[in-house]
Structure 1
Amino acid sequence: MRDFRHDHSALALNTATLGHNVPGVGAGWSPEQTIDACAERGIGGIVFWRREIEERAAEIGDRARQAGVKVVGLCRTPFLVGPLGLQSEEAILSDFRRSIDQTAALGTDVLTIVVGGVETGTKGVTRSLDIVADRMAKAIPYAEACGVKLALEPL
């Protein structure tokens, strides 16, 4: 078994473990502070959440690389189904493309998809899974064109 007590270079920090760094929530660190903390501790990778990077993806990706920290992924797309997501398919797919653009701008190639819950007005997961598959099929060509892999969390 690998011993990480003295070498953290193979580890990646998902910023959710800090409580999501947005004003008033979690550690409250800026992306730059999070990057610096990882670099100081020898942590080799970082996964940001979209709400932490907003429209600064390219800048934050550059900063991480300059600090010697690899951005290994971005969390997350909009929920593709369920009551907590965006209401229209058009809005969902538009935000999905935006999340793909942010992933590419960060300089990473993995975008996590947290699909959501059971679609409103349906029973069980079968119809919801069909909707997820349909929306994924619509986004995959764009993701491929941007060089982004989609990492699917289960429903």
Structure 2
Amino acid sequence: MSFEGLSINFATVRQGGFFGEIVDACLRNGITAISPWREHVQGVGLAEAARIVRDNGLRVTGHCRGGFFPAADEAGRKAAIADNHRAIDEAAALGAACLVMVVGGLPKGSRDLPAARQMVADGLAEILPYAQKAGVKIAIEPLHPSYAADRACVNMLEQALDLCDILGAGVGVAIDVYHVWWDPKLAGQIERAGRNGQIFAHHICDWLVPTVDPLNDRGMMGDGVIDLLAFRRMIEAAGFHGPQEVEIFSHRWGALPVDEVLATVKERYLACCQPGGGDDAA
């Protein structure tokens, strides 16, 4: 059975240890596409992480994360640009399909949301030439409005795509079902993104009812209220057929053995996430 259409974001199995240990667990489960976080890469060193990717023939569907542009002063904004340059270098060395942007929220002490959004736009514009030179695509990930103050002041797919249109080539979106499933404009904006070739990544999990922690209570596919099959149909109709990247921040799943989590991921991926069964169900 093939799982070429499935990618594991390291947040889903962060209890699995270091970069190489998580890769080994994925390979044991027949999964050859990954999306690491910078902490995992930095834990073993970029050269070693790149070697592991290369030697195992892994597909890196994204690198998490860049962003966090808004800052209270010019020094903070310059530091963010420098850190994003380092993230771009990492993504390039790993051969990542994109660098995922969690753009940042309000600077400490600020209530000026429009100003924060302008800092995001300015920061993305400043790093884009560096990313283009490195051959790294930038994927803006709109986050649920509950994160607007502290993590991401870009909260709707429409906002992210407006930024893409302003910034131009090399900038697209990472569409995470957890963050945008509720959006009444979703179908039209996915179609817009596909029409312009701006879908760079597709993240999946589920929205639990009730959700007791908006950060660390994400659901395994099939345990919540998101129509994952309908969502994937929209994504594919828009022209994106890349892997579905499972990203589950969860105290519950994070307390279980990695192989148990990955076995459940594979089962739910086959049952809940493939319109028409797909080649991966064979």
Superposition TM-score tier, normalisation by shorter sequence: 0.7 to 0.9
Instruction: Give the number of equivalent residue pairs.
Output: 141
Post-superposition CA distance 1:45-71 (Å, at most 9, x none)? 101100111172232122123223212
Does residue 101 of the first structure (1) align with residue 89 of the second (2)?
Answer: yes
How far did 1:81 drift?
2.0
Q: Which amino acid is the alignment partner of residue 81 of structure 1?
A: P
Give the Cα separation in 2 of the matches to 1:64 and 1:34: 12
Provide structure 1 residue ranges, at least 5 long, that are not aligned to the other structure: 1-5, 20-25
From 65, 79, 83, the equivalent of 2:68 is: 79
Question: Could you say which residue in structure 1 is the equivalent of 2:27?
Answer: 39
Give CA-to-partner distance per residue, 1:121-153, whole Å, 9 cap, x none: 543521111110001100000000000011112
| 32, 36, 50: which one aligns with 1:48 | 36
Residue equivalent to 1:22: none
Q: Aligned AA for 1:69?
A: L
Q: What letter matches 2:41 in structure 1?
A: I
User: Residue 4 of structure 2 aligns with which residue?
Assistant: 9
Distance 2:96 2:67 in 1: 18
Q: Identity of counterpart residues, as a percentage?
A: 35
Instruction: Determine if contact 1:81/1:116 at 8 Å carries over to the other structure.
Output: yes
Matched ranges for 1:1-155 at <5 A: 6-19=1-14, 26-27=15-16, 29-54=17-42, 56-81=45-70, 88-154=76-142, 155=153
Assess if the C-alpha contact under 8 Å between 2:53 and 2:94 holds in 1: no
Give the unaligned 5+ runs of structure 2. Answer: 143-152, 154-282
Cα RMSD (Å) of the superposition? 2.1
Q: 2:225 matched to which residue of 1?
A: none
CA distance in 2, matches of 1:57, 1:44: 19
1:101 Cα deviation from its structure 2 partner: 0.6
Secondary structure, counterpart of 1:92 in structure 2? helix
Letter in 1 for 2:34: I
| Deviating more after overlay: 128-137 vs 115-124 | 115-124
**Residues 46 and 73 of structure 1 are in contact (CA less than 8 Å); yes or no, is this contact kept in structure 2?**
yes
Q: Cα deviations across residues 65-114 of structure 1 (Å, max 9, x unaligned)? A: 3223212211011411268xxx6111111111011011111122410111
* TM-score, reference length from structure 1: 0.81
Name the structure with the higher helix share: 2
Alpha-carbon separation, structure 2, partners of 1:42 and 1:68: 12
Q: Which residue of 2 aligns with 1:23?
A: none
TM-score, normalised via structure 2 length: 0.46
SS at match of 1:137: helix
